[in-house]
Amino acid sequence: MSAVPYLYKAQIKKPQRQQALVSVIIPFLNEEDVLIACHRRVCRALDALGQQCEIIYVDDGSTDNSWHIVKNFNHPLHQVQCLRLSRNFGKEAATSAGLKASTARCAILLDADLQDPPEYIKDMVKAWKDGAQVVEMQRKKRHGENALKRLSAHLFYKLMSKMSDHPITENVGDFRLLDQKVVDVINALPERTRFMKGLLAWPGFKRVILQFDRDPRLAGTTKWNYPKLIHLALEGITSFSTTPLRWATIAGILTSLSAFVMALIILTKTLIWGDPVTGYPSTMLIILFLGGIQLLSIGVLGEYIGRLFIESKQRPLYILMEETFNQPTFARQEIEYAP
Ligand code: UDP
Ligand code: MG
């Protein structure tokens, strides 16, 4: 007998258990006030699907009681997996940990603070069953966000779509559904700089956009402040586009050209009219202008070199400290999450 059929047989993977329909991935940091309500609403939304699902909580280094709350969550039908990272690695890394752990046919990313209402899961799964491989949830209204945050978000999306080859849809956050195929692609991406909005847009696939009203946070406060948001914006731009480098080159060309034109004007004035070279203020202005452009260009270069430095270290994206895996509790008489 040839070895080929034997090898072929050995490569067939038999599923260990029935594959879950949806993985709901919930990264959180210090969300003790909302986790119980979150679990309750997510379970209700998954129950409405009528099939086995899994919920993956990722504790991104919480220092409050959050881990002790989630690690005991369970459900009669759905599996509940809880991952605890060894410190705060940032939402992007926590989301990546959840995607790596996901085993279902599709994954949904959800914030723990219930700003992304779990009740939309049904519509998302319907769109996926109708053929979409990515279902992006676009915010119609951004309740609980001030005008400055809305304006800065709008400017960021505009800038990103100008610069990047793979434009990200405006007002679509992490709340979205990804088919298992897309999840596999994202999991295989090797980079350490995880600008999730960009990474999730990069693979393409069949996309559908659904609109929803974003609720205000249920309790607690946002984990983002302006320095963090500026860092995220810089990370997004430098990890997805080399346009700033091109702009630095163009700025260099334009200033050299204008210096050349100015030199011609000064030379002509001096030779024809015998004007002495004057103008201390204008000289200072030009020196400062050129200095500014040079420093800016060095800064832009530095941002890219910094990213290269971080990537070259090849450190893991996150470190898993603890993990619980709560199998469905079919036999339970009392369903704990019931109101
Ligand atoms: N989050 C996280 N790690 C962080 C920051 C935030 O896992 O370093 C979680 C947070 O607990 C929440 C979600 O990411 O579940 C969204 O964060 P937040 O509500 O603070 O952001 P916003 O909605 O204000 O943009
Ligand atoms: Mg929030």
Mutation choice for ligand 1 from 70, 223, 231, 232, CB with most ligand atoms inside 8 A? 223
Q: State whether the beta carbon of 84 lies less than 6 angstroms from ligand 1.
A: no
Considering only CA atoms, which of 17, 80, 22, 14 is closest in space to residue 51? Answer: 22
Q: Is 111 in the pocket of ligand 1 (CB under 6 A)?
A: yes
Which letter does DSSP use for residue 51 in this model?
S
pLDDT tens sequence across 80-101: 999 999 999 989 999 999 999 9
- Look up tokens 């080159």; give the residue: 249
pLDDT in tens, 180-189: 999 999 898 8
> 90 CB less than 6 Å from ligand 1?
yes
By the 8 A CB rule, do 53 and 47 touch? no
Direct distance between the N- and C-terminal alpha carbons of the chain, in angstroms, rounded to an integer: 62
Atom of ligand 1 nearest to the CA of 88: 8
User: Angle, nearest 10°, between helix axes 147-163 and 226-240?
Assistant: 10
Ligand 2 center from residue 145 Cα (angstroms): 10
**Residue 182: closest CA among 115, 119, 128, 110:** 128
For residues 320 and 98, is the Cβ–Cβ distance under 8 A? no
Token pair, residue 83, equals 């991952």
- Cα 180 to middle of ligand 1, angstroms: 24
10 — pLDDT class (breaks 50, 70, 90):
very low
Q: pLDDT of 113-156, one tens digit each?
A: 988 999 999 999 999 999 999 999 998 876 666 777 778 778 87
pLDDT digits (tens, 9 = 90+) for 24-62: 999 999 999 899 999 999 999 998 888 889 999 999 999
Among all ligands shown, which has an atom nearest to the Cα of 115?
2
**Which tokens hold the place of 316?**
């893991």
Are 320 and 84 contacting, i.e. CB atoms less than 8 angstroms apart? yes
Coil, helix or strand for 79?
A: strand
Centre a 10 Å sphere on the Cβ of residue 253 and count the other Cβ atoms it contains: 10
3-state secondary structure of 84: strand
Q: 230 pLDDT exceeds 50?
A: yes
Does the CB atom of residue 173 touch ligand 1 within 6 A?
Answer: no
Res. 332: pLDDT tops 70: no
- For 48, the token pair is 């409405």
Residue 31 CA to ligand 1 centre (angstroms) = 9
Mutate to test the pocket of ligand 1, among 42, 65, 91 (most ligand atoms within 8 A of CB): 91
225 pocket-lining for ligand 1 (C-beta < 6 Å): no
Pocket lining: 152 vs ligand 1, CB cutoff 6 Å: no
Residues shown for the chain: 339
The closest of 42, 78, 86, 38 to 60, measured between CA atoms, is 86
Any atom of ligand 1 within 6 Å of the Cβ of 109: no
